[in-house]
Amino acid sequence: MHVRDLLKGNKPTFSFEFFPPRDAAAAETLRLSMRELVPLSPSFVSITYGAGGSTRQLTHDLVLRIHEKERLPVVPHLTCVGSTRQELGHALARYASAGITDIMALRGDPPAGSIDYLPPPDGFSHAADLVGFIRTEFPSSGIGVAAYPQGHHETPNRLREMDHLKAKVDAGADYICTQFFFDNHVFYDFCDRCEAVGIHVPIIAGIMPITSMATMRRMSELALGVNIPGKLQKAFGRMSERGSVARIGVHWATEQVRDLLDHHVAGIHLYTLNQSRATMQIIETLGVL
């Protein structure tokens, strides 16, 4: 079943995101996390690419393993960066032959050390181009695209940013999954702006619980433009124990999800960072899944 069909149900979807492990220790962490999270029967799981497509083969291998062993709907990320049209077509054909029916179509981040994105020869300049290619060459595929409720650092003009997003939807995207955010008003405003420009596909809200100060600093570096509310920063500033960071972060994320559910969000996408504890606590507290 496609994600677009799941989003037509009476209940919001709950999905998890993982990334391919780079070494044995990371692989063991992922294995243990999945052993706890998979039995929750999420609506689907997504698997990311590294910057510049650096984990392309690792992503493919992990997608197939989850699809075959866990029998879960899997949504692999596919990026324009570092791939020609022929290479992307080959990847899509392999997924299709394995029964993978959905793709998250992204432009992708430039390789480390690069500032600007330059498409490869016979490649795609924008995610909308990749969406159109998938819709034309693999018309039965389900397609998700990314969005940035607080804006993307490469497109400071927020009106033009919405034009880019609408171009992806008009090219054939079935749904939108947002980058994580920490203020639900930002998400609701984003939904209003989508409606204003004629975007009417389902929007899945991305949530990432902060579990350490290092994680918060890392997120601030990687997700440029994501604002951490002053109230949340003050809560971290009042803590007296190291373990309080995770408690505060998980509580904040749980309340975000609770409020989103009350506002009938189409779906919740939890960025797990390949860890299970925070996700488990959110799910158990809210009694979902």
**3.20.20.220, 1.20.1250.20, 3.40.80.10, 1.10.443.10: which CATH number matches 3-286?**
3.20.20.220
The domain segmentation of the chain, as residue ranges, is 3-286
> Phi and psi of 213, rounded to 5°?
-65, -35
Contact at 8 Å (CB) between 176 and 165? yes
**pLDDT at residue 59, as a whole number:** 84
pLDDT of residue 214: 82
Amino acid identity, residue 94? R
Using an 8 Å Cβ cutoff, are 108 and 129 in contact?
no
CA distance 96 to 258: 36
Tell me the pTM: 0.93
100: Cβ–Cβ under 8 A, 6 or more apart, which residues? 63, 64, 67, 74, 76
| pLDDT, position 54 | 58
| pLDDT of 21 | 86
Distance CA 2, CA 253 (A): 27
What pLDDT shows up at residue 181? 94
Q: What integer pLDDT is reported at residue 250 of this predicted model?
A: 96
Is 17 a residue of the active site?
yes
Predicted confidence (pLDDT) per residue in 22-49, tens digit: 888 888 999 899 999 999 999 999 999 7
Question: Smallest Cα–Cα separation from 168: which of 59, 80, 45?
Answer: 80
Q: Give yes or no for a contact between 106 and 145, defined as CB atoms under 8 angstroms apart.
A: yes
Q: Are 80 and 127 in contact (CB under 8 A)?
A: yes
Tens-level pLDDT at each residue, the chain (289 residues): 899 999 999 899 999 999 988 888 888 999 899 999 999 999 999 999 765 555 677 888 889 888 888 888 999 999 998 789 999 999 999 999 999 999 999 988 766 656 667 777 888 989 999 999 999 999 999 999 999 998 766 666 678 889 999 999 999 999 999 999 999 999 999 999 999 999 999 999 999 999 988 877 777 666 666 888 999 988 888 876 656 889 999 999 999 999 999 999 999 999 999 999 999 999 999 999 8
Residue range 175-216, pLDDT digits in tens: 999 999 999 999 999 999 999 999 999 999 999 999 988 877
